[in-house]
Amino acid sequence: MKLLLLPLLLSVGILISGKVYSAQMDITPTYTWTEYITIDGVTIEYVFQECNSELVSNQTLVLFRYSNNTDQEVTLTWKLKTFRNNQCSNCDHLHKDEYTRTITLAPGEIFTGDCTSKTDKKSYEFSHFINKVPGMSDTKLTSFEFVDIQVITK
């Protein structure tokens, strides 16, 4: 009985606190910036971008843009659940700290991912290879979900 009540109590606690969010929706590949969600004055947008730069080539990435629409510094944390060919590809690993992403934004600041580098995981998610050669993965990103989103005002 106690084990059955624990998830219910945790859900109620999250609803009361109002500070942890998840946003699941159907993601349509779009090549113009599209709003994903706005939470506590922070807007998250995404765009699919074919990348053929010096450091990132032959890849379609989902790039993210984070906009702080408030007059205070905010820290945004989340995990990104990914679906490849309609199957969750990282659900078994989301509990690990390495999947937590964080960004701090000054008042009015906008952070935009681009195709110049893949060193900053908060700025993008790999979708698929543009041109495949034998041995390359044939999977595609079919959806993603920001989970455990927290906005902390400083």
Q: Is the pLDDT of residue 132 over 60?
A: yes
- What's the whole-model pTM score? 0.81
- Pairing status of strand 42-51 against strand 59-68: antiparallel
Full set of structural domains in the chain with CATH: 19-153 (2.60.40)
CB 104 within 8 A of CB 34: no
Per-residue model confidence as pLDDT tens digits over 44-66: 999 999 999 888 889 999 999 99
Q: Rounded to whole angstroms, what are the CA distances from 97 to 50, 58, 77, 78, 102?
A: 29, 30, 11, 11, 11
